[in-house]
């Protein structure tokens, strides 16, 4: 079995092709269709069907090369960067270049045989379209917030009028994107059923359900609820050393930042209206946890509950704690 470690950036792919007997070669290609075709020729005479490609889930830059390799028969693993970082530290890797990172990724892939049991599966066309629409709506909302903030401090009438016109246009576009998102979900039986299941969770509204469906495709296919939460960057990161270094645990924040942002308001709503979440937060408060630590834990709990209802295909029941802890 040949392993291809790929360090992905916006413009380039640094790669290392190696096998179990120590043969290897390294190269660099553009992160584009032309670069993918050149990579495919460079890999020969190794057949793609005998190749296991491994890369980090870095922003969205990995998606096109992962899809290309998958479509041409390679096994593909997309790994949370925290796992690669932890492996590099365990190997006393102190230097950092793109080519060294590609070697670390390839070595990690070789040392982690269970990756082959949970290969990356590309989203369906409907899931890809949903994610594009949701991300575009997020960008429009961000732009509207920026212009609204400028309007609040603007004193020049001509600039105010221009800002108001831009904001009105953005409002129309946001409404149009929301309409298209909901029509897409309603027309796809699987997405519609998943959305309806997510809406049974007290605290999750339509917009947050749309974010979950867009950013965590096939949520029920994660190995565990913790794996899903880690993909969003909502698992705690601990830092302890000896008997003197004791930093407070923090959210790892290595993962889908847009989804973390989309879960903040649902977490506040769940704290008020979801009895299971209220009990959970109360226990944390009794242990002396700070307010924002509790909110972060509630966001993580919502991902756990979402995983449970989709995995078991069962609506949320605040009395059925097995679902919440699935």
Structure tokens at 243: 């008997």
pLDDT at res. 69: 96
Whether the link from the prior residue into 45 is cis, omega within 30° of 0, is yes
> Quick one: 239 exposed, middle or buried, by C-beta within 10 A (0-12, 13-18, 19+)?
exposed
Beta-ladder partners of 18: 3, 24
Residue 67 and residue 73: Cα distance in Å, rounded? 10
Which residues, 6+ apart, have CB-to-CB distance to 324 below 8 Å? 276, 301, 304, 305, 308
**Euclidean distance between CA atoms 21 and 2, whole angstroms:** 10
C-alpha to C-alpha distance for 267 and 3, rounded to whole angstroms:
41
Q: Can you give the pLDDT at residue 250?
A: 53
- CA end-to-end span of the chain: 35
Residue (of 204, 218, 251) closest to 78 by Cα position: 218
Residue 141, CA distances (Å) to 129, 135, 146, 179 in order: 18, 10, 9, 15
Tokens of 47: 């057949």
Burial readout 206-221 (b: 16 or more C-beta within 10 A, e: otherwise): eebbbbbbbbbbebbe
Residue 238: predicted pLDDT: 41
Contact 251, 293 (CB under 8 A): no
| pLDDT digits (tens), the chain, 326 positions | 899 999 999 999 999 999 988 899 999 999 999 999 999 999 988 888 889 999 998 778 999 999 999 999 999 999 888 788 888 888 777 777 889 999 999 999 999 988 888 888 898 899 999 999 999 999 999 999 999 999 999 999 999 999 999 999 999 999 999 999 999 999 999 999 999 999 999 999 999 999 999 988 777 667 788 888 887 878 765 444 444 444 555 554 555 777 888 899 999 999 999 999 999 999 999 999 999 999 999 999 999 999 999 988 999 987 765 444 44
């Amino acid at each position: 079995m040949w392993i291809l470690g790929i360090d992905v950036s916006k413009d380039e792919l640094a790669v290392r092709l190696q096998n179990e007997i120590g043969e290897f070669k390294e190269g660099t290609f553009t992160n584009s269709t032309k670069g993918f075709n050149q990579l495919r020729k460079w890999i020969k005479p190794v057949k793609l069907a005998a190749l296991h490609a491994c890369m980090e889930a870095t922003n969205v830059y990995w998606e096109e090369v992962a899809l290309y390799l998958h479509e041409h028969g390679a096994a593909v693993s997309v790994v949370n960067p925290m796992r690669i970082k932890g492996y590099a530290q365990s190997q006393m890797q102190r230097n950092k270049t793109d080519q060294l990172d590609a070697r670390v990724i390839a070595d990690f892939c070789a040392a982690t045989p269970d990756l082959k049991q949970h290969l990356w599966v590309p989203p369906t066309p409907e899931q890809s379209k949903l994610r594009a629409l949701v991300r575009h709506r997020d960008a429009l909302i961000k732009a509207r917030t920026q212009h609204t903030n400028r309007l609040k401090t603007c004193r020049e009438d001509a600039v105010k009028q221009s800002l108001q016109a831009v904001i009105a246009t953005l409002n129309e576009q946001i409404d149009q994107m929301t309409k298209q998102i909901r029509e897409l979900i309603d027309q796809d039986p699987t997405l519609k059923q998943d959305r309806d299941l997510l809406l049974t969770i007290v605290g999750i509204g339509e917009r947050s359900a749309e974010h979950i469906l867009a950013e965590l495709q096939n949520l029920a296919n994660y190995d565990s609820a913790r794996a899903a939460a880690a993909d969003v960057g909502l698992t705690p990161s601990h830092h302890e050393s000896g008997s003197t270094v004791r930093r407070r645990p923090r959210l790892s924040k290595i993962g889908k930042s847009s989804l973390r942002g989309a879960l903040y308001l649902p977490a506040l709503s769940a704290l008020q209206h979801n009895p299971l979440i209220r009990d959970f937060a109360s226990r944390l408060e009794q242990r002396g946890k700070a307010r924002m630590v509790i909110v972060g834990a509630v966001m993580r709990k919502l991902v756990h509950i979402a995983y449970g209802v989709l995995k078991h295909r069962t609506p949320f029941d605040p009395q059925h704690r097995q679902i919440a802890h699935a």
